[in-house]
Amino acid sequence: MQDSELLKQAAQASKASYSPYSGYKVGAALLCEDGSIYTGCNVENISYGGTICAERTAVVKAVSEGKTRFVKIAVSVSGKEYGIPCGLCLQFLSEFVAADFEVICGNCEGDFVKYSFDKIMPAVFKSASVKHI
């Protein structure tokens, strides 16, 4: 799938954003290894800790449908800056990404930059580093 097409799906998903506090709409489109695509939008909450990002919404939808191997994600935002996923979303994605996973970061004008996952998130918290009690 072309990056620009995946970004269009992310932009479409951003239209469902529930963002009454920030006014910042975010959409994500997640491409799975099998070619299926799951989209998500940000859902804010008056208690900001209860807010969920578009990227995690897409991941949760995919995993709830049995998909756990991802190839790339596109993120589209309502601002002019590129929509780069937050650290929490990148950590969340790290559970499921392929070695060559790509992150496509778009803006409101349809422009985008692309990063390999290891460049945008070079040091993730991995299960091997977890000390079980």
Residues 6+ apart with CB under 8 A from 122: none
> The whole model's pTM is what?
0.92
Where do the domains of the chain lie, and which CATH numbers do they carry? 3-129 (3.40.140.10)
Residue 59's Cβ-count burial label (10 Å; 0-12, 13-18, 19+) is buried
Q: Is 47 annotated as a binding residue?
A: yes
Q: Is 32 annotated as a binding residue?
A: no
b/e per residue, 22-34, with b = 16+ CB within 10 A? eeebbbbbbbbee
The amino acid that residue 131 corresponds to is: K
pLDDT tens for the chain, 133 residues long, are: 899 999 999 999 999 999 999 999 999 999 999 999 999 999 999 998 999 999 999 999 999 999 999 999 999 999 999 999 999 999 999 999 988 999 999 999 999 999 999 999 988 877 665 554 4
Q: Is 41 annotated as a binding residue?
A: no
Please give the radius of gyration of the chain, using alpha carbons only, rounded to the nearest integer.
Answer: 14
Catalytic amino acids?
55
Q: Is 107 annotated as a binding residue?
A: no
